[in-house]
Amino acid sequence: MEFEYKSIELARKGRSIVQLTQNDCEMLNAQFNAGWEYVDSICQSVSISIGGTENGSVLVILKRKKG
């Protein structure tokens, strides 16, 4: 059985990494309704920028059967 994978960024720089917006939830639910399954998440808690540090990103990794 073959799978395809993709990642979705939920928290962008400058946003809290612990709080999802309504749009984030709706987008994730749409992916699950389209047959995607949760695999894992990757959290970058802090990013370094020219002006200092900011909140990092959260990526959610999804998979579904090919075809």
Ordered by start, the domain boundaries in the chain are 3-65
Tokens of 36: 């995607």
Query: pTM for this one?
Result: 0.73
How much is the pLDDT for 46?
66
Instruction: Read off the pLDDT of residues 8-21 as tens digits, 9 standing for 90 and up.
Output: 987 665 555 456 77
How far, in Å, CA of 62 to CA of 60, rounded? 6
Contact 5, 61 (CB under 8 A): yes
How many CA atoms lie within 13 Å of 10's alpha carbon, on the beta-carbon side?
25
Instruction: Read off the pLDDT of residues 2-58 as tens digits, 9 standing for 90 and up.
Output: 999 999 987 665 555 456 778 888 999 999 999 999 999 887 766 566 666 666 678
How many CA atoms lie within 13 Å of 37's alpha carbon, on the beta-carbon side?
7
Task: With H, G, I as helix, E, B as strand and everything else as coil, classify residue 2.
Answer: coil
